[in-house]
Amino acid sequence: MVERGETRQVDKLSIIDWELAQFGHRAYDLGHMIGDLCEQKHFNDADSAMSCVRGFVEGYGGLTDELAFRTAIHAGTQLIGGYYRRPQRGGVKAPEDMVVDMLRFAKEFVVKGWERDRAWFEGSILAPLFATRMAG
């Protein structure tokens, strides 16, 4: 959540919803946010979301290959799991072909992440995951 800053330069971040705090892999936090942002890019054509992904990874300090692949897998599962969260009827229901497209690239995130196919990711919208290296 983002709160209005008092000046243009200062942003206030409000981090809420802590009830799922748990023991887990850091890629779950990274991949959840990145999956959500990819969903906005896909369904709402929001280029701003992908700028945010790039900044998010940079701000985190970059990722190792291991963390990047695992994050890509989790982002993919987040998108696929999102199938049930999307409206299933009514005016805001997404067209079927858009949903299928989303499932198609989300499945690739999982499969290519498992296969550690870095070249594939570098040509995909998840290229920012591999653009900044985490310091050892």
Partner 1 sequence: MLNALTDFSFRTPTTIARTPRLYISIRDAETTIQVHEDFSDATDLRAVLLPSTARDHDQMSSLFSSPLDLGRKIGSWLRGFHTWADAPAQESLRREIGRNQPMRKLKHRVNYGNLIGILEKFLDVVGCSSEDMEALQNVRDVADKELARPPTVMGEYWGMIHGDFCMLK
Q: For binding to partner 1 (CB under 8 A), which residues are involved?
A: 1-5, 8-30, 32-33, 36-37, 40, 44, 46, 48-49, 51-61, 66-67, 70, 73-74, 77-78, 80-81, 83-84, 100, 103-104, 107, 110-111, 113-115
CA–CA distances in Å: residue 76 to residues 46, 70, 104: 18, 10, 10
Q: How many CB atoms lie within 10 A of CB 17?
A: 7
- Of residues 51 and 122, the one with the C-beta less far from partner 1: 51
Q: Residue 2: what are its φ and ψ, rounded to 5°?
A: -120, 130
CB of 123 to partner 1, least distance (A): 18
CA distance 51 to 39: 13
What's the CA angle centered on 58, arms 70 and 72, to 5 degrees? 20
CB of 69 to partner 1, least distance (A): 11
- Of residues 90 and 136, the one with the C-beta less far from partner 1: 136
- Of residues 1 and 123, the one with the C-beta less far from partner 1: 1
CB of 79 to partner 1, least distance (A): 10
CA–CA distances in Å: residue 28 to residues 38, 73, 100, 128: 15, 9, 24, 17
CB of 134 to partner 1, least distance (A): 9
